[in-house]
A and B are shown apart, each in its own frame.
Chain A
């Protein structure tokens, strides 16, 4: 099965969602997204880090250094309260968008 390109602007949403379950480091986020999407979504790793830092700057996620599961020094990100709110808003918007798009596509 071919991989899908991420539509513009959805990467942020996916990152926020991935982080809403537990704090994670960058590599884990990309792995997680790949696994959960059954490897259908290709998260461009090159865009991941600039996106993470952008979200951090906006105050939606915050970072801290800590030991990883194999006990190495890694940078962990977690959602902030503002990030959780943002995630809710973006998920809402996404739902509306997909519903609307499906409605249009299903027109007879």
Chain B
């Protein structure tokens, strides 16, 4: 018996899997039979053609035999599924509007979710590409208490890395690495690009074989200074060197050294980079040694991440304990060199081992939580989309009740009917999923651009995302089609057949109403959040920064290790200022040392009459050349600006910000006061400037002071350049002009001021963009949902409306009747949504700027928008109801 079942199974599988071959064999077999049969007749003296005809008659219809055979083969189930699918395609083709609406709705919902998934997955869960056995690899973090605060740090000194590796025993591999933006190339070719610094051991963490040449060895990565060798990344080798094999042995200028190219990393290798793939990797000791000759001897420069691989059989806890012991020993060693360091029992140094993606580290912070926020919002959108589609399918199922009842009456099995409705739903979901994949690709790309960095290799969609997309497609497909399938089968067969449209009362579907209310509620909540973020972003944008961002460029000079005296550098900066002013379109240029949100300079301040003025700080220094305030757009509110009369040798002058004046001399006139900068002589306050925002966007006013560069004992290193027009349009022209004046290997970086400020505003921009986009999407879906429910109800009530009109009901009254239906749904959804938003506001408020999470304006606006959209969505069916012709309505069906 068992053998027979098995034999059946094998043959059926073969019949399905190798369908063509089986059919061909059957063909051959029957043809052979016909030939032999015909020969038999020929031998008996029948002419050949007649013989063939007879043979065919005796055998019977070849096609019928094949059919019998197919049925017997049990291809039936498979064929039934194919038939269902064909049937589904046909029915969906009949209602292209419905099909399109469902596919687009699902596509948007699935696409948003899949796109966000791919980003979260890449940031949080995927090990770096090509890493060997990622489960045994951890990234090391350290934790210690500093001045009563618990700190977590991912950066280590080279000496610490050596200590930790030699004093721990749980690890089979350890590597130090970091990625930094460094200058590559010389002169006009110089650009700042990501470069990886990695210990020789780094490469053995990966299953990576060089595409060309070799990686560097431990003997080339040795303190105090490693060999100047570089391994190029594959994309850089392709784009910069056209994939030429003779790059080996060539020189490439990176940062302060000239490196020999010894290899090319394989395609797809990105090391530990979170953002763009580095253009090259160089030994840590080569980079460190060129920067500071003593970098390997002390604990002053923490710049390296550490990667470790546990030995087989060593638990994560055991490894952490072992590494913490090594860290404590290293702490003691550091304390022997620097007695001011807190003792071990105060600082409590310890190590933490975490998964490799940096967003999973113990110090990931707010930036790391953004993807989760976005993920939750995307999921809400998917639910709205799913609810919408379920609603549409339900309506369709109600409309098709008679068809279904008829088919049941004709003897179609219920199982087969469910299968058919399910295959329709799954087909729709599949089309939606495919659309979603495309949309997801756009979403992922867009979000990564907003978030910064395209990710390693820039893959927007990988296999995992596609699988995820397929999974949610399947779930959504089943969920949205199962309910309607059950509704379609439920109820009294005979009643459905008899009733038709002419039912005394129409039936409201409670399920559909609930679905629409859910959509309304969720989209209201999203829209409230969107409104709050848009207002925050607007507040951020509208905040007076105290300088003009749009028309200004920032130029920063990098001497790349060249040693210039202060005077030489001052001359260089003066020359650059002059050169910049000569570029067509430039309105002015000025020197500076502090860039908002980027770098802060400060120095000691003493004020006669104030005991230790420093405690009122921090005070931020800006060294300026004449024309600074005009160029940058910071207004002088009292006195005068620094001008060309403030030269070396003339009386020392200082301009202070209003905030600084307020802190030092509250209620007094600051003009003429004395400030001693850097323990020098009195600088006289000649002017007061408006406050500027420089340390992050907030209302905390900063204390800034401005001194003429000529009167300072140090040089500036950057310029502000004001252009007539959009800053971004002048970047290249200004850079070329300035670079031509740069000596030796030094270079200049020019960027629009707006980009720096934009980074500071990024989190609000992400919030506003994301919530607005998804909120609008949800609103659109909810509107479609309300429309379809109301429109459906009107269709159902056509007969009743006809009766009302015949009895003399007024058009306005009828319209109001339908509108009221829609508004009731909209209002309930809106109410729940606003409650939701108010509750969720608690978690939202730290992310907002100058807006209460219960901002009445936003809530009112959203309420208005929602009611408006509801009105619009129900107005169309309302008008249709008013136009019902009683003659037609009453005679129909």
Interface residues of A (CB under 8 A from B): 25-28, 31, 44-47, 49-50, 53-54, 56-59, 68, 72-75, 82
Check: B311 CB closer than 8 A to any chain A CB: no
User: Are A49 and B32 in contact, CB atoms less than 8 angstroms apart?
Assistant: no
* A53 partner, pick from B3, B58, B69, beta carbons under 8 A: B69
Check: B492 CB closer than 8 A to any chain A CB: no
User: Are A46 and B65 in contact, CB atoms less than 8 angstroms apart?
Assistant: yes
A102 and B646 alpha carbons, distance in the complex (Å) = 136
Other 9 A-B pairs with CB < 8 A, given A54-B72, A57-B73? A27-B36, A45-B33, A50-B68, A53-B69, A53-B72, A56-B11, A57-B72, A73-B32, A75-B29
Instruction: Given A58-B8, A75-B25, verify A44-B65 contact (CB < 8 Å).
Output: no
User: Are A74 and B60 in contact, CB atoms less than 8 angstroms apart?
Assistant: no
Contacts of A28 in B (CB 8 A): 36
Shortest C-beta distance, B62 to chain A (Å), equals: 9
Q: Give the secondary structure class of A's interface.
A: helix
User: Are B58 and A45 in contact, CB atoms less than 8 angstroms apart?
Assistant: yes
A26 and B55 alpha carbons, distance in the complex (Å) = 14
* A45 partner, pick from B11, B25, B60, B73, beta carbons under 8 A: B60
Instruction: Given A50-B72, A58-B7, A59-B3, verify A68-B65 contact (CB < 8 Å).
Output: no
User: Are A49 and B8 in contact, CB atoms less than 8 angstroms apart?
Assistant: no
* 15 CB-based A-B contacts, threshold 8 Å: A25-B29, A26-B32, A45-B37, A45-B59, A46-B59, A46-B64, A49-B26, A49-B33, A49-B69, A50-B65, A50-B68, A53-B72, A57-B12, A57-B72, A57-B73
Contacts of B65 in A (CB 8 A): 46, 49-50
A57 and B75 alpha carbons, distance in the complex (Å) = 13
User: Are A59 and B32 in contact, CB atoms less than 8 angstroms apart?
Assistant: no
Contacts of B73 in A (CB 8 A): 53, 57
A74 and B4 alpha carbons, distance in the complex (Å) = 25
What 4 A-B pairs have minimum CB-CB distances, sorted nearest first?
A46-B60, A59-B7, A27-B36, A57-B11
What residue in chain B is nearest A46 (Cβ atoms)?
Answer: B60
User: Are B32 and A72 in contact, CB atoms less than 8 angstroms apart?
Assistant: yes
Number of A-B residue pairs having CB atoms within 8 Å of each other in the complex: 67
Could you mark each residue 64-107 of chain B with 1 if its beta carbon is under 8 Å from any beta carbon of chain A, else 0? 11001100110000000000000000000000000000000000
User: Are B7 and A68 in contact, CB atoms less than 8 angstroms apart?
Assistant: no
A54 and B11 alpha carbons, distance in the complex (Å) = 10
Check: B313 CB closer than 8 A to any chain A CB: no
Give the number of chain B interface residues (Cβ < 8 Å): 28
Check: B489 CB closer than 8 A to any chain A CB: no
Check: B61 CB closer than 8 A to any chain A CB: yes
Contacts of B72 in A (CB 8 A): 50, 53-54, 57
Check: B379 CB closer than 8 A to any chain A CB: no
Check: B317 CB closer than 8 A to any chain A CB: no
User: Are A44 and B33 in contact, CB atoms less than 8 angstroms apart?
Assistant: no
Check: B28 CB closer than 8 A to any chain A CB: yes
A75 and B7 alpha carbons, distance in the complex (Å) = 19
Contacts of B59 in A (CB 8 A): 45-46
Check: B30 CB closer than 8 A to any chain A CB: yes
User: Are B61 and A75 in contact, CB atoms less than 8 angstroms apart?
Assistant: no
A74 and B35 alpha carbons, distance in the complex (Å) = 11
Instruction: Given A26-B33, A46-B59, verify A57-B8 contact (CB < 8 Å).
Output: yes
What residue in chain B is nearest A25 (Cβ atoms)?
Answer: B32
Contacts of B32 in A (CB 8 A): 25-27, 68, 72-75
Contacts of B25 in A (CB 8 A): 75
User: Are B3 and A49 in contact, CB atoms less than 8 angstroms apart?
Assistant: no
Shortest C-beta distance, B386 to chain A (Å), equals: 44
User: Are A58 and B4 in contact, CB atoms less than 8 angstroms apart?
Assistant: yes
What residue in chain A is nearest B68 (Cβ atoms)?
Answer: A50
Contacts of B61 in A (CB 8 A): 46
What residue in chain A is nearest B9 (Cβ atoms)?
Answer: A57
Could you mark each residue 45-66 of chain B with 1 if its beta carbon is under 8 Å from any beta carbon of chain A, else 0? 0000000000000111100110
* A49 partner, pick from B4, B11, B29, beta carbons under 8 A: B29
Shortest C-beta distance, A55 to chain B (Å), equals: 10
Contacts of B11 in A (CB 8 A): 56-57
Instruction: Given A45-B33, A46-B61, A82-B3, verify A73-B69 contact (CB < 8 Å).
Output: no
Shortest C-beta distance, B268 to chain A (Å), equals: 48
